[in-house]
Amino acid sequence: MLVVETALPDAPSGGGPLRILAEDVWSGRAHTVFEAIERVRARWSGHTPFDATPPSRTGDVIVVDGVPIQFDRLARPDEWVACARVGAYRVTLEARCFPVEGLELVRVTDLAPYILGSRRFDAGADGST
């Protein structure tokens, strides 16, 4: 699964626990991943999903509309989140069991095929409800 979010740079964010942790780093509220874990631990009564396996932090290049863009990525064994500024927007990626290698993003201007595909998926493989 890959979720791609495009937003204005200061827009509120959401997402799962790894994204919440990453937002502390990306916003500057925490200077390191370990400082972010401590902030999460304080908010979550002393327990975090990162105690056994803290995420690693890397910079990865992902192609967006044919242009290589440097993303800041935090990763754990089966999940990762990444963020970069693309033009005037902030692009955030949240993935589970999805490889970053070879990933390329393109701008979608016609949503009709995606809406139709979602409706077909929701209706079932044979198109029935």
Structural domain of 88: 2-123
Q: Is residue 112 part of a domain?
A: yes
Span 8-57, pLDDT tens digits? 777 767 778 888 889 999 989 999 999 998 888 888 777 777 777 889 99
pLDDT at 54: 87
CA atoms of 53 and 75, how far apart (whole Å):
10
Q: Is residue 100 part of a domain?
A: yes
Q: Is residue 41 part of a domain?
A: yes
Task: Give how many domains the chain has, as a whole number.
Answer: 1
pTM above 0.85, yes or no: no
CA atoms of 113 and 21, how far apart (whole Å):
34
CB 17 within 8 A of CB 48: yes
Q: Which residues of 87-100 are buried (b: 16+ CB within 10 A; e: fewer)?
A: eeebbbbbbeeeeb
Q: Is residue 128 part of a domain?
A: no
CA distance from start to end of the chain: 24
Span 77-115, pLDDT tens digits? 999 999 999 999 999 999 999 999 999 999 888 889 888
pLDDT at 53: 81
